Amino acid sequence: MPGNDSNQRCVTFESEQLQSLLDAVQGRGYEVFGPRVRDNTIVLDRLSSITELPIGAGTDQNNARFRLTSRQDQAFFSYTVGAQSWKRYLHEPTLRLWNAQRDDGGFKVDANQSLPPKQAFVGVRPCELNAILALDRVLLHGVAADSAYRSRREKTLIVAVDCGVAGGTCFCTSMGTGPRASSGYDLALTEIIEGDRHYFVARAETELGAEILEGIPHSVPTEAERTAAENVVASAAAHMGRTVDAANIRDLLVRNPSHSRWDQVATRCMTCGNCTMVCPTCFCTTTTDVTDLAGEHAEHCRLWDSCFTLDYSYIHGGAVRSSAKSRFRQWLTHKFGIWFDQFGQSGCVGCGRCITWCPAGIDVTEELAALREGNPPGNCPPIRKETPRGNA
Ligand code: SF4
Ligand code: SF4
């Protein structure tokens, strides 16, 4: 059963063997992506060696604040997430759907049929793993299933890493998504540093994951090593930067479209859309056409869009959500509320990115707490009974 440790292959390996693991993944034809330090932040990019990982890097995150810090050790995975999420490799920011070339007075149209390579994500955090599973629900299994997403997702191998350090804006424990990877991975690692010893306790959820572990020098975890792995995760859980009272949160939002807090937050929100761009579960898109100046070549592209843009809610005659208040309310109510009606789960995994990267320092946990204040719990009936299209 996925996520059940008793049925998982579980091993210990020393930190020097992490390169063997990377080699084993690459040797199976996967293009490997992972975290790296660039421009004083954590980015996701191609990875060929473990020396490219953010060794000894930590992060200091708060409202509108992200700083890299230096640790005293050589930890590979002690940073907390940067602005980029794995969404960019599954649901690309820009996707050319087709292009057309002028041809004998007409146009020859080519659909975008290039096949994506096999890709491996190394260092997927538990919240991010849950974000991928949330995207699966929408773009793999839902009525808005997307063939481009499917072609990438089906060729993706995931090496998750449990969190041993929580960021200042993290709240995965409130959303039930971390700090331990529970399922949805091929391999999950817990990084442990004890004095001079630096090692990993690893568990495999798939046959492929087990096969990879089998191929690298390892041992059976001792009781002490298993306990150390549990302690790493417990420490992260005990140091969450934020919390959210998630009880009846969907009903809280649905019952309060006229709360005065929406007016207050609207005085700060610049409708820049940063929160939606960094959010690992926001999936909305628009399309655009581009032609060259000679009119010989045209392209039809899909781009990430945001419910914070004025055009996003444009229908015949104008935008439905013309104010910052209505757009922020739409985003928060959809993310934490209407996702339940549409997809049976929250749209938030508690990664904290929207808090860190909001230039106005708006904090969703603070906004939700303010909405809850003086609001007794109560239920609201489902808004929709049928499964609607993906974009709300
Ligand atoms: S909440 Fe912050 S990040 Fe989101 S649109 Fe408003 S100002 Fe931009
Ligand atoms: S709403 Fe904010 S905290 Fe929640 S998943 Fe999106 S970016 Fe992360």
d(CA 67, CA 61): 7
Give the three-state DSSP class for 338: helix
pLDDT digits (tens, 9 = 90+) for 78-100: 999 999 999 999 999 999 999 99
Residue type, 70: S
Contact 135 CB / ligand 2 (< 6 Å): no
Query: Residue 136 has which token pair?
Result: 């699966």
Considering every ligand atom shown, identify the ligand nearest to the alpha carbon of residue 175 and give its number: 2
- State what percent of residues in the chain have pLDDT above 90: 88
Determine which residue's CA is closest to atom 8 belonging to ligand 2. Answer: 351
Q: At what angle do helices 18-27 and 207-214 cross, to 10 degrees?
A: 120
For residue 165, the CA-to-ligand 1 centroid distance in Å is: 26
Look at 62-71, 308-317, 382-391 and tell me which has the smallest mean pLDDT.
382-391
Considering every ligand atom shown, identify the ligand nearest to the alpha carbon of residue 241 and give its number: 2
Q: At 381, is the pLDDT very low, low, confident or very high (cuts 50, 70, 90)?
A: confident
Round the average pLDDT of the chain to a whole number and report it: 94
The pLDDT, as a whole number, for residue 347 is 98
pLDDT at 167 over 50: yes
pLDDT at 191 over 80: yes
Look at 54-63, 324-333, 348-357, 381-390 and tell me which has the smallest mean pLDDT.
381-390
Q: Which of 63, 281, 346 to mutate to test the pocket of ligand 2 (most atoms within 8 A of CB)?
A: 281
The pLDDT, as a whole number, for residue 4 is 47
Q: How many CA atoms lie within 13 A of 86 on its CB side?
A: 31
Determine which residue's CA is closest to atom 7 belonging to ligand 2. Answer: 279
What is the residue-wise DSSP string for 121-162?
EEEE-HHHHHHHHHHIIIIISSTT--HHHHHHHTTEEEEEE-
What mean pLDDT do residues 360-366 have? Answer: 98
Q: Say if CB 230 and CB 5 are below 8 A apart.
A: no
d(CA 251, CA 245): 13
Comparing C-alpha atoms, which of 312, 385, 380, 284 is closest to residue 342?
Answer: 385
pLDDT digits (tens, 9 = 90+) for 308-349: 999 999 998 899 999 999 999 999 999 999 999 999 999 999
* Cis before 116? omega within 30: no
Q: What share of the chain is helix, strand, coil (3-state, %, to 5)?
A: 30, 25, 45
What mean pLDDT do residues 176-182 have? Answer: 97
Determine which residue's CA is closest to atom 4 belonging to ligand 1. Answer: 275
pLDDT at 275 over 80: yes
For residue 278, the CA-to-ligand 2 centroid distance in Å is: 8
Sign of the alpha-carbon torsion through 148, 142, 160, 302: positive
What mean pLDDT do residues 61-71 have? Answer: 98
Q: Which of 62, 87, 353, 356 to mutate to test the pocket of ligand 2 (most atoms within 8 A of CB)?
A: 353
What mean pLDDT do residues 186-200 have? Answer: 98
Considering every ligand atom shown, identify the ligand nearest to the alpha carbon of residue 355 and give its number: 2
Determine which residue's CA is closest to atom 8 belonging to ligand 1. Answer: 272
Contact 61 CB / ligand 2 (< 6 Å): no
What mean pLDDT do residues 2-6 have? Answer: 46
Backbone angles phi, psi at 4, to 5 degrees: -95, 110
Distances (CA, A) of 88 to 73, 256, 298: 30, 33, 24
The pLDDT, as a whole number, for residue 70 is 97
The pLDDT, as a whole number, for residue 225 is 98
Q: At 251, is the pLDDT very low, low, confident or very high (cuts 50, 70, 90)?
A: very high
For residue 169, the CA-to-ligand 2 centroid distance in Å is: 10
pLDDT at 137 over 80: yes
What mean pLDDT do residues 262-266 have? Answer: 97
Give the three-state DSSP class for 174: helix
d(CA 49, CA 108): 43
The pLDDT, as a whole number, for residue 392 is 39
Residue type, 40: N
Contact 273 CB / ligand 2 (< 6 Å): no
Q: At 7, is the pLDDT very low, low, confident or very high (cuts 50, 70, 90)?
A: low
DSSP run (H or E) holding 298: strand 297-304
The pLDDT, as a whole number, for residue 390 is 44
pLDDT digits (tens, 9 = 90+) for 301-310: 999 999 999 9
For residue 182, the CA-to-ligand 2 centroid distance in Å is: 19
pLDDT at 391 over 70: no
pLDDT at 280 over 80: yes
Q: Name which residue leads in pLDDT, 109 or 55.
A: 55
What mean pLDDT do residues 24-36 have? Answer: 98
What mean pLDDT do residues 177-202 have? Answer: 97
For residue 50, the CA-to-ligand 2 centroid distance in Å is: 28
Query: Residue 308 has which token pair?
Result: 């914070």
Greatest alpha-carbon pair distance for the chain in Å reads 75
Q: At what angle do helices 364-372 and 324-333 cross, to 10 degrees?
A: 90
Comparing C-alpha atoms, which of 382, 50, 87 is closest to residue 216?
Answer: 50
Contact 349 CB / ligand 2 (< 6 Å): yes
Within 8 A by CB and 6+ apart from 21, the residues are 13, 159, 187, 212, 213, 216
DSSP state of 15: G
pLDDT at 112 over 50: yes
Look at 192-196, 319-323, 348-352, 384-388 and tell me which has the smallest mean pLDDT.
384-388
Contact 156 CB / ligand 2 (< 6 Å): no
C-alpha dihedral over 244, 248, 249, 251, to 10 degrees? -160
Sign of the alpha-carbon torsion through 342, 171, 62, 278: negative
What mean pLDDT do residues 234-263 have? Answer: 96
What mean pLDDT do residues 197-222 have? Answer: 97
Any long-range contacts for 150-154 (C-beta under 8 Å, 24+ apart)? 151/115, 151/116, 152/89, 152/90, 152/116, 152/119, 153/90
Q: At 246, is the pLDDT very low, low, confident or very high (cuts 50, 70, 90)?
A: very high
Distances (CA, A) of 150 to 129, 145, 328, 388: 16, 8, 30, 20
